């Protein structure tokens, strides 16, 4: 008897010495490894036969059936050892697996029989027996597995091994025992064919799509649990047979499935796909699913988007989805703050707010303010929480917004909080994050605040993302779906849909007010600066003895202190100045109408002050409590600028001083009116330039015979003015129709087209709106559309290829949203053009002019805490806005490229999970896929030659600062020259690359496989790829060391002295993709 400890003496050496040619081997062990075969290749190839028993159940189909749930690809530990066990990582990472597996497979075919123990509860002991003749037989007892670790070649963890070698005649007892067990068909089953099949998988050529699938399976297999617990849509309800589902593009279908998964799992989801990607239609797909599950659905939208949603609720000709019989309720954001009255045909007193299974909030960024208003009254956010989310049945909430984040991450947090009813403990239990959601957002905002103080050159989105914690990305991935148009066109097959049209360089038209410059913007701005606008500030003239009385009546206590009525009046004065400046930049007529209105108010006030016997006067006031006021667009354009009137006793006022100031304003305004009244339409140079631009477009179409033009303006007055002066001209001269659409008015020069919104838009964009089906008997079309921002969101008008901004919106996001009406995927136009009208002064001068007129004293400055000071935000924002607007003079950019750093598009992993769920259904029969397999794919212009390695860290506890989103999986993309293209921190980009290269490539590319076979000498010489693998792992270690040092300077402490990666043995290779 001899003892072998694999330290002083090794089993491999003893076997090499004692396995003779023509020997017969019998082995019982828990697993078999090709690397053990490689180590004993000469000896094993010389034996006559090998009988091998797996001592515990392996490769048993009935065993798999018992243990494996639906849609699960079994990958049991012992089977995986065939191509390298737990302690053979260094050997596996030499990438010779394929060549060895092929040789081993042939040897198995010729000489080996495998059987497996069927009894889980009766494991067998391991042994090896070898004999070329009976008297020289030997047995080795105490064997665990037949791997290089048990052979003593590779190190093994744990206690030392002690193997007992027994010689004849005692060795015969082991052979007798083995023979007895071998014949026990009740407890053993032959699995040779299954083992052989496993080897074949290890050395066959794989399709690139299969490698993509295996990569997804390994990384996201926890997601497969959702398939079996109803967190993904149940196809049995039939929603994939609906009209809306079959009208969705492939990327929209993925959004629908992903959103339903998030709604089922977390009760909430924000769908924030970029402008032009059809969020409304995606939402309709989600709504239909829940309606088919007998859930009541409520859609809440801004009033201006009413027609977008009402269209699909009625059995009208204009409803292309009428067959789906949508039955959702539609109300408006403002209705949440109302307890009675009618809205969209419903009595609000009768609405059962707590009985909705799903609430869809369009433009959900309007619900970013969770705090109290100035008057401490409940705002619409709190009303939504109280009435809908917390009362009655469990409610899921789907939020739609292209701009879910403004300038604070709390904007996003507050919207997400609707899903968990404002109780963070609910969501903290469901999220796989280290910190709670409140702490995560606090840290994220802190990082953002640091980022905003960087120089503009350093303030990049990449820099910001690098500063954020892993937990933040986990939240985004769990609760949002946000894809950019660039992502869709790059990673989806859009051949059936069409592409986005090519954007021409924007046309900038700088127009003076008059051709002879008799009236200039600067001149008007200077006069506006002289205005007191005292008609809006009566409390400024209250006698000192009466000040406290009015303070008691009208001052408001806020969370940040006191908001006085005097401060409110100052703010109203500034708003009106801004309004006047915006209107003169929009159109002479809009300015004239507003100025006349102010003059009328002043004259009435002067008249009241001059009358004897009049006791009280009512002053119009801006409603500071109205959260529906659009700070970007409305500035006096809508009714909501004015709220409750302030009642003032004339006996309490310094009449003489107020009257003097009013008369001074009246004189200035009359002077302004005198100047602008000489500008009639015929000499309105800006109007004439517009008419010329439209004529040029009609006579010289960008795309074949396309005469269509959209003209956007911020003001209904301007839109009316343009319609009056354009409609008849183009009807008479070109026989084309014009329509006007504002919040309150819809008219057209066409005689047979109804003035209902959907009819007008359908006849303007007949292809995208399906006019042939909806209005087959109407032959007229509309070619010129004049509109305010009531249609700047949620409308597909892509038949048009020419969009004009007649006035420049101060917020560039609105400009991009307007252009999104025609800049849409699937457009039949090759090119599209954006035309912007600018004042005839430099952008710098225009911005400075605007700043001077504003005085930078908005209401929020006085009402907010220091952290929320809008004044400081605006001052900081000024330079950035200037850069954005200048950019828009040279190019049409994407919305996500305009944002001030906070951009959540393309950060989620939803698309990969949806791909996995689809692949599972296609490849569901797969069992026991070896690790370390590969495929070869052709490089592209974007994705250069190299290798993408998918690795798994065997020590799952190490993930420094949770910087790797996919931990314990690490992806590295390295070039043929060893240059790092993407490191493991860029895991999302690498997954995108694999998806782009592999999805849809369902067969191996024969030419590339043959090229690789020749290059590697039939896979025996994989040194090039093994070296690149080692270098890839080295980059992971270097990056982690670097991040570890940086963690010294981050909140939350350092990871120094914690357990670290050791090297190549810490990683096993899951798969790799060679990019040729």
Interatomic CA distance for residues 183 and 301, integer angstroms: 75
Count the helices and strands in the chain (H runs, E runs). Answer: 41, 33
Fold of the domain spanning 2-204: Endonuclease; Chain A (3.30.870)
Report residue 307 CA to chain centroid gap.
27
User: Which residue pairs from 323-326 have beta carbons closer than 8 angstroms and sit at least 24 positions apart in sequence?
Assistant: 323/243, 324/242, 324/243, 324/244, 324/288, 326/284, 326/287, 326/288, 326/291
pLDDT of residue 625: 42
Span 359-364, average pLDDT: 92
630 pLDDT more than 60: no
CATH match for 238-425+479-491 among 3.20.20.70, 3.40.1030.10, 3.40.50.300, 1.10.4080.10: 3.40.50.300
* 565-586 helix and 716-734 helix, angle to the nearest 10 degrees: 10
Q: Which tops the pLDDT comparison, 906 or 261?
A: 261
Q: Which tops the pLDDT comparison, 1059 or 261?
A: 261
Contact call for residues 642 and 628 (beta carbons, < 8 A):
no
Contact call for residues 1053 and 1047 (beta carbons, < 8 A):
yes
**Burial class for 564, CB neighbours closer than 10 Å (0-12, 13-18, 19+):** middle
129 pLDDT more than 90: yes
Please report which confidence band the pLDDT of residue 557 belongs to, taking 50, 70 and 90 as the band edges: low
Least confident range from 260-264, 597-601, 768-772, 874-878: namely 874-878
pTM recorded for the entire structure: 0.73
- pLDDT, tens digit, for every residue of 134-176? 778 999 998 888 988 889 888 777 677 789 999 989 999 999 9
pLDDT of residue 90: 53
Q: Is 297 helix (H, G, I), strand (E, B) or coil?
A: strand
Contact call for residues 684 and 511 (beta carbons, < 8 A):
no
Least confident range from 66-70, 233-237, 349-353: namely 66-70
Residues with Cβ within 8 Å of 872's Cβ and at least 6 positions away in sequence, in order, are none
18 pLDDT more than 60: yes
Q: Of 159, 126, 120, nearest to 144 (Cα)?
A: 126
Q: Which tops the pLDDT comparison, 642 or 723?
A: 723
What DSSP state is assigned to residue 158?
S
Q: Of 449, 244, 234, 263, nearest to 359 (Cα)?
A: 263
676 pLDDT more than 60: yes
Interatomic CA distance for residues 315 and 320, integer angstroms: 9
Highest mean pLDDT among 24-38, 86-100, 849-863, 928-942: 24-38
Location of structure tokens 């050997």:
91
Q: Is 74 helix (H, G, I), strand (E, B) or coil?
A: coil
pLDDT of residue 797: 93
Contact call for residues 637 and 809 (beta carbons, < 8 A):
no
24 pLDDT more than 90: yes
Contact call for residues 77 and 33 (beta carbons, < 8 A):
no
pLDDT of residue 864: 29
What DSSP state is assigned to residue 548?
H
Residues with Cβ within 8 Å of 236's Cβ and at least 6 positions away in sequence, in order, are none
Interatomic CA distance for residues 851 and 208, integer angstroms: 57
Q: Of 742, 751, 756, 834, nearest to 785 (Cα)?
A: 742
564 pLDDT more than 80: no
pLDDT of residue 612: 66
Span 579-606, average pLDDT: 90
In 3-state terms the chain splits into helix, strand, coil percentages (rounded to 5) of: 50, 15, 35
Looking at the chain, the domain(s) classified CATH 3.30.870.10 span: 2-204
Please report which confidence band the pLDDT of residue 688 belongs to, taking 50, 70 and 90 as the band edges: very high
Tokens of residue 282, six digits: 């995606």
Contact call for residues 133 and 238 (beta carbons, < 8 A):
no
CATH match for 682-847 among 3.60.21.10, 3.40.1030.10, 3.40.50.2300, 3.40.50.300: 3.40.50.300
85 — alpha (psi -120 to 50), left (phi > 0) or beta? beta
Interatomic CA distance for residues 714 and 993, integer angstroms: 42
Dihedrals phi, psi of 27, to nearest 5 degrees: -130, 135
Looking at the chain, the domain(s) classified CATH 3.40.50.300 span: 238-425+479-491, 682-847
pLDDT of residue 1047: 44
Q: Which tops the pLDDT comparison, 625 or 910?
A: 910
Tokens of residue 740, six digits: 């006007």
**Burial class for 113, CB neighbours closer than 10 Å (0-12, 13-18, 19+):** middle
Residue 155 has a CB neighbour count (10 Å cut-off) of 11
Alpha helices, DSSP H, located in 641-748: 655-677, 685-699, 716-734
SS (H, E, C) 611-626: CCCCCEEEECCECCCC
Question: Among residues of the chain, what percentage have pLDDT more than 70?
Answer: 80
DSSP strand pairing (980-982 vs 480-481): unpaired
Q: Which tops the pLDDT comparison, 209 or 815?
A: 209
Span 720-742, average pLDDT: 95
Residues with Cβ within 8 Å of 938's Cβ and at least 6 positions away in sequence, in order, are 1005, 1008, 1075, 1076
1045 pLDDT more than 90: no
21 pLDDT more than 80: yes
Span 583-602, average pLDDT: 91
pLDDT of residue 56: 85
846 pLDDT more than 70: no
pLDDT of residue 123: 74
Please report which confidence band the pLDDT of residue 1048 belongs to, taking 50, 70 and 90 as the band edges: very low
Interatomic CA distance for residues 274 and 793, integer angstroms: 12
Span 337-350, average pLDDT: 90
SS (H, E, C) 371-433: CCCCCCCCCHHHHHHHHHHCCCCCCEEEEECCCCCCCCHHHHHHHHHCCCCCCHHHHHHHCCC
Interatomic CA distance for residues 638 and 743, integer angstroms: 9
Interatomic CA distance for residues 57 and 73, integer angstroms: 17
Q: Which tops the pLDDT comparison, 356 or 845?
A: 356
User: In whole numbers, what is the pLDDT of the chain averaged over residues?
Assistant: 80
Residue 1007 has a CB neighbour count (10 Å cut-off) of 11
Report residue 1044 CA to chain centroid gap.
29
* 565-586 helix and 521-530 helix, angle to the nearest 10 degrees: 160
């Amino acid at each position: 008897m001899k003892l072998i400890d694999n330290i002083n003496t090794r089993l491999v050496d003893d076997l090499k010495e004692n396995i003779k040619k023509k020997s017969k081997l019998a082995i019982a062990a828990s697993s078999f490894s090709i690397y053990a075969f490689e180590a004993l290749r000469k000896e094993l190839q010389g034996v006559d036969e090998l009988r091998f028993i797996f001592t515990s159940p392996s490769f048993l189909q009935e065993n798999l059936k018992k243990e494996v749930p639906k849609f699960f690809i079994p990958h049991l530990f012992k089977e995986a050892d065939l191509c390298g066990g737990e302690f053979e990582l260094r050997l596996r990472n030499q990438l010779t697996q394929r060549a060895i597996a092929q040789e081993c497979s042939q040897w198995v075919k010729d000489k080996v029989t495998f059987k497996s123990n069927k009894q889980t509860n009766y494991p067998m002991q391991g042994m090896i027996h070898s004999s070329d003749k009976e008297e020289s037989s030997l047995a080795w007892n105490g064997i665990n597995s037949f791997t290089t670790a048990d052979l003593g070649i590779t190190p093994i963890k744990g206690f030392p091994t002690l193997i007992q070698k027994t010689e004849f005649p005692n060795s015969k007892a082991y052979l007798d025992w083995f023979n007895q067990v071998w014949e026990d068909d009740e407890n053993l089953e032959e699995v040779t064919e299954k083992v052989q099949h496993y080897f074949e998988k290890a050395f066959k050529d794989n399709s690139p799509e299969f490698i993509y699938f295996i990569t997804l399976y390994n990384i996201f297999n926890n997601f497969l649990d959702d398939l079996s617990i109803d967190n993904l849509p149940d196809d049995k309800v039939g929603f994939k047979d609906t009209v809306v589902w079959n009208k969705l593009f492939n990327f929209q279908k993925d959004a629908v499935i992903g959103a339903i998964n998030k709604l089922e799992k977390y009760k909430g989801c924000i769908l924030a796909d970029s402008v032009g990607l059809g969020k409304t239609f995606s939402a309709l797909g989600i709504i239909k699913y829940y309606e088919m599950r007998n859930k009541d659905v409520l859609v809440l939208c801004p009033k201006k988007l009413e027609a977008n949603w009402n269209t699909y609720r009625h059995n009208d000709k204009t409803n292309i989805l009428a067959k789906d019989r949508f039955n959702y309720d539609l109300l408006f954001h403002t209705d949440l703050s109302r307890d009675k009255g009618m809205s969209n045909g419903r009595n609000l007193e009768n609405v059962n707010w707590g009985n909705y299974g799903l609430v869809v909030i369009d433009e959900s960024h309007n619900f970013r303010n969770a705090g109290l208003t100035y008057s401490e009254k409940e705002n619409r956010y709190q009303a939504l929480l109280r009435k809908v989310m917390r009362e009655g049945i469990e409610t899921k909430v789907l939020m739609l917004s292209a701009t879910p984040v403004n300038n604070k991450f709390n904007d996003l947090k507050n919207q997400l909080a609707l899903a968990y009813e404002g109780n963070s403990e609910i969501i903290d239990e469901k999220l796989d994050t280290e910190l709670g959601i409140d702490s995560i957002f606090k840290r994220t905002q802190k990082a953002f605040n640091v980022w905003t103080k960087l120089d503009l050159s350093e303030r990049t989105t990449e820099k910001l993302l690098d500063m954020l914690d892993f937990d933040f990305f986990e939240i985004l991935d769990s609760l949002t779906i946000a894809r950019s148009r660039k992502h869709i066109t790059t990673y989806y097959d859009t051949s059936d849909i069409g592409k986005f049209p090519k954007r021409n360089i924007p046309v900038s038209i700088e127009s003076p007010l008059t051709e002879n410059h008799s009236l200039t913007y600067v001149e008007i701005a200077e006069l506006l600066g002289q205005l007191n606008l005292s008609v809006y500030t009566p409390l400024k003239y209250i006698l000192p003895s009466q000040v406290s009385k009015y303070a008691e009546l009208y001052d408001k206590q806020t969370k940040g202190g006191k908001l006085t009525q005097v401060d409110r009046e100052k703010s109203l004065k500034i708003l009106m100045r801004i309004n006047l400046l915006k209107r003169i930049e929009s159109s002479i007529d809009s300015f004239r109408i507003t100025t006349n209105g102010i003059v009328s108010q002043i004259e009435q006030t002067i008249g009241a002050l001059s009358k004897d016997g009049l006791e009280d006067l009512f002053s119009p006031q801006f409603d500071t409590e109205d959260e529906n006021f659009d700070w970007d667009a409305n500035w006096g354009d809508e009714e909501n600028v004015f709220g409750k009137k302030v009642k003032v006793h004339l006996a309490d006022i310094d009449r003489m001083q107020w009257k003097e100031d009013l008369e001074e304003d009246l004189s200035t305004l009359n002077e302004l009116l005198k100047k602008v009244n000489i500008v009639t339409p015929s000499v309105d140079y800006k109007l004439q330039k517009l008419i010329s631009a439209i004529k040029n477009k009609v006579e010289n179409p960008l795309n074949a015979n396309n005469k269509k033009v959209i003209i956007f303006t911020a003001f209904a007055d301007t839109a009316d003015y343009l319609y009056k002066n354009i409609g008849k001209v183009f009807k008479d001269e070109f026989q084309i129709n014009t329509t006007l659409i504002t919040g309150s008015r819809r008219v057209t020069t066409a005689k047979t087209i109804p003035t209902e919104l959907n009819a007008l838009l359908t006849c303007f964009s007949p292809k995208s709106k399906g006019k042939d089906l909806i209005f087959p008997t109407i032959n007229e079309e509309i070619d010129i559309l004049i509109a305010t921002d009531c249609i700047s969101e949620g409308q597909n008008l892509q038949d048009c290829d020419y969009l004009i901004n007649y006035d420049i919106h101060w917020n560039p996001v609105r400009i991009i949203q307007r252009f999104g009406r025609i800049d849409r995927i699937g457009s039949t136009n090759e090119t599209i053009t954006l035309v912007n009208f600018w004042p005839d002064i430099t952008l710098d001068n225009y911005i400075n002019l605007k700043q001077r007129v504003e005085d930078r004293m908005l209401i929020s400055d006085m009402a907010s805490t220091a952290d929320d000071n809008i004044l400081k935000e605006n001052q900081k924002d000024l330079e950035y806005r200037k850069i954005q607007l200048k950019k828009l003079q040279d190019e049409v950019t994407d919305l996500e490229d305009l944002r001030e750093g906070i951009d959540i598009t393309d950060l989620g992993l939803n698309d990969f999970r949806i791909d996995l769920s689809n692949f599972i259904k296609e490849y569901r029969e797969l069992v026991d896929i070896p690790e370390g397999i590969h495929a070869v794919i052709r490089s592209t212009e974007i994705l250069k030659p190299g290798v993408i390695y998918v690795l798994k860290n065997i020590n799952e506890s190490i993930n420094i600062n949770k910087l790797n989103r996919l931990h314990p999986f690490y992806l590295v993309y390295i070039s043929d020259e060893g240059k790092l293209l993407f490191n493991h921190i860029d895991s999302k980009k690498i997954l995108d690359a694999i998806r782009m290269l592999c999805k849809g490539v369902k067969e191996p590319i024969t030419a590339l496989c043959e090229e690789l076979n020749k290059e590697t000498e039939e896979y025996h010489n994989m040194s090039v790829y093994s070296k690149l693998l080692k270098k890839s792992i080295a980059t992971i270690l270097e990056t982690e060391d670097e991040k570890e040092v940086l963690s010294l300077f981050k909140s939350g402490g350092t990871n120094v002295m914690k357990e670290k990666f050791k090297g190549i043995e810490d990683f096993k290779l899951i798969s790799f993709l060679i990019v040729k």
